[in-house]
Amino acid sequence: MRRRGLFARLSALPLILLLGLSAPHALAAPSHAIAMHGAPKYGPEFTHFDYVNPEAPKGGTLKLAWVGSYDSLNPFIIKGRPAIGLGLVYDTLMVASSDEPFSHYGLVAESVETPNDRSWAIFRLNPKARFHDGHPITAEDVLFSFDILRTEGAPLYRFYYADVSEAVALDDHTVKFTFSTNRNRELPLVLGQLPVLPKHAWEDRTFSDTTLEPPVGSGPYRVAAFEPGRYIRYERVKDYWGADLPVMVGMYNFDAIQYDYYRDFTVAVEALKAGEYDFRSENIAKNWATAYEGENKNKGLLIQHAFKHSRVAPTQGYVMNMRRPPFNDPAVREALAYAFDFAWANQNLFYDAYARTRSNFDNSELAATGVPEGDELALLEPYRDQLPPRLFTEEYNPPSVPAPGEIRQNLRTALTILNKAGWEMKDGVMTQTERGDTLRFQILLDNPSLERVTLPYVQNLKRLGADVDVRVVDTAQYTNRINSFDFDMIAEIWAQSDSPGNEQREFWSRDTANVEGSRNLTGVSSPVVDALIDDIVRADSREDLVTAVHALDRVLQWTFYLVPMYHSEADRFVYWNRFGMPEITPDSGASVMTWWIDPEKDAALRAAGVLTDR
């Protein structure tokens, strides 16, 4: 998970890895919460979020599944493959609500203070906060966490915290962060997502090494049992210090959460149908349409439900590595998009389940449409000579076809683009006559289900003279190759936020383009992009933010860094009918972490002989 709200604590990565972070509301005194723009929705006397059931019963085991394997219980470094779900173990200074564009409420930090110019932030820790081993959480632990993540953690921490010039303890329970600029308006929220690690548990260990020693955290669950490659089980911390905090009421209602690992997606689907685990988020359209039919579904024992959401759609497509030929040629990047027949794939492979991706921020007001006007045009005007002229006169849209399968005109357009850029067919392969580059590359995948989407695309590419092969590798090899940018083309996805901010540097900035392990997978390296990201980070209002995001989106669209694929406007869940759920689903989507075991439904399933012992 990769997005805010749905599986915030189910991920193997800390929350800061998964969220698009955003700017805080300027505060003049300590507050229980901080919002991007305006005031937080929930006042200081709130008792719980609206999208939870404060009376939800606790108990039972939630069994989930994951495909792949793991070899580490350290989720904060790029080395190794961390187990899924480790976010359950760690508390952060603050937590985000799921029914606001972006607001944070106190967890380890009971209050936050930042001046009107946002040049610093002070976090006051809850004196009740404890690690699982009973040690109190102090300012020293916060400073240790900040320093170790910035110096030895995954690269993104270094970029997220780059504008912090000083971090000091004012007393045992108060930390002040001073910033090198007052123009990075989201920094208090970025720091609010800081996972707090126990200094005493790491002092005699090397942080940058993988480990299978169960971690000491402060969150609602701890690692109870595990076997790499088979399962990991988390159990509720019985004396969890934060159980009664408003941000935790109605959340994490299961006594245990266990992930069983499967090597193959097909096997994982069959295991769900056999009752081996409880819940699956189904991302394969064919499975959603056909895999779950049968008696259990007909009887209402196995439920399929698409939960509508209003969050920003993720950016998804075939990503081209611009660090190497032939993708360092923008004509190639533009032309290859004409070979992808989304309409055919949606009709024949996806049961018309998807919408075409055209923006980096689809399904939201952040998506750039039309041509730049007004404030956005004023923002882009200084860079006119560095941008394609079409950006100012044409609306970007991915290539479309008259009807599914009618790709000929698109291929002719692609050939025209290539020929104008000096590409010609030689010995059956499209070749750049001046440089000698050939249109030869590999599409690297880690999910076999993507082959059925990719192979028809490859057939169209070959009609353009492209020499393309597809290779599917295991998760470990794929991760290593992605981290080192050892690929030509991949099918990838970036989770986006309702309030974009510093994470955009991790995705697109020149500083991250050659940093192994960064999310700048395509190698975007543009002073214009960097300047627009700065405008996003410095935005004083929601209106300014939307304008700057439109400008960035438009520049990325006309960079042709990916072949846009598709997205869903609902979360497709399949689950055994043993759960109770809150009445309200927040805009960011439903979360199984707000569900609970309904005793009557659970008893009915057991009477039907469906579920294995929990």
* Band of pLDDT at residue 390, cut at 50, 70 and 90: very high
Count CB neighbours of 210 within 10 A: 15
> Please, which residues have CB within 8 angstroms of residue 442's CB and are 6 or more apart in sequence?
468, 469, 470, 471, 487, 488, 489
Q: Which of 341, 359, 348 is nearest to 285 (CA)?
A: 348
3-class secondary structure, 17:
helix
How many helices and strands (H and E) does the chain possess?
A: 19, 25
Under 8 Å between Cβ of 139 and 131: no
Identify the CA nearest to 486 among candidates 309, 596, 323.
323
464, 473 Cβ separation under 8 angstroms:
no
Give the integer Cα–Cα distance in Å for 17 and 530.
20
Do residues 490 and 320 touch, judged by C-beta distance below 8 A?
no
Of 22-26, 259-263, 569-573, where does mean pLDDT reach its minimum? Answer: 22-26
Phi, psi of 90 (to 5 degrees): -115, 135
For the cut 70, the answer to whether the pLDDT of residue 24 exceeds it is: no
175 CA to centre of own chain:
29
Give 108-122 pLDDT, tens digit per residue: 999 999 998 889 999
DSSP state of 130: B
| Segment 331-373, tens digit of pLDDT | 999 999 999 999 999 999 999 999 999 999 999 999 999 999 9
pLDDT band at 159 (very low <50, low <70, confident <90, very high): confident
Q: What is the set of domains in the chain, with CATH numbers?
A: 315-567 (3.10.105.10)
| 37 pLDDT higher than 90 | no
How is residue 345 written in tokens?
């794939």
Examine the pLDDT at 267 and tell me if it is beyond 90: yes
Per-residue pLDDT band at 21 (split at 50, 70, 90): very low
The 10s digit of each residue's pLDDT in 534-592 is 999 999 899 999 999 999 999 999 999 999 999 998 999 999 999 999 999 998 899 99
Q: What kind and span of H or E run contains 157?
A: helix 155-160
Q: Is the dihedral of CA 505, 454, 488, 335 positive or negative?
A: negative
d(CA 118, CA 181): 8
Q: What are the helix (H) ranges across 284-407?
A: 285-286, 295-298, 330-337, 342-348, 374-380, 390-393
Q: Do residues 577 and 608 make contact, with C-beta atoms less than 8 angstroms apart?
A: no
Choose among 455, 471, 555: nearest CA to 507. Answer: 555
Stretch 173-202: mean pLDDT:
94
- The pLDDT score that the predictor gives to residue 614 is 64
| 8 A C-beta contact, residue 258 and residue 63 | yes
Sheet strands (E) in 418-554: 423-426, 429-432, 440-445, 467-472, 489-494
Residue 441 near residue 448, CB atoms below 8 Å: no
Nearest by Cα to 217 from 70, 87, 84, 105: 87
Tens of pLDDT, residue by residue over 510-536, are: 999 999 999 999 999 999 999 999 999
CA distance 442 to 295: 43
d(CA 95, CA 194): 10
Q: In this structure, what token pair is assigned to residue 318?
A: 């075939």
Q: Give the HSE-up count for residue 211: Cα atoms under 13 Å, Cβ half-sphere.
A: 16
Evaluate if residue 8 carries a pLDDT over 70: no
Average pLDDT, rounded, for the chain = 92
Alpha carbon distance 325, 441 (integer Å): 9
| C-alpha distances in Å from residue 81, one per residue of 75, 150, 389, 476 | 8, 20, 44, 7
Selected residue with higher pLDDT from 298 and 9: 298
CA distance linking residue 544 with residue 521, whole number of Å:
27
Residue 23 has pLDDT above 50, yes or no: no
Structure confidence by residue, pLDDT tens digits, 96-149: 999 998 899 999 999 999 998 889 999 999 999 999 999 999 999 999 999 999
Which sign does the torsion angle of CA 190, 196, 199, 204 carry?
negative
pLDDT at 612 (0 to 100): 65
pLDDT tops 50 at residue 252: yes
Say if residue 534 is exposed, middle or buried (CB neighbours under 10 Å; 0-12, 13-18, 19+): middle
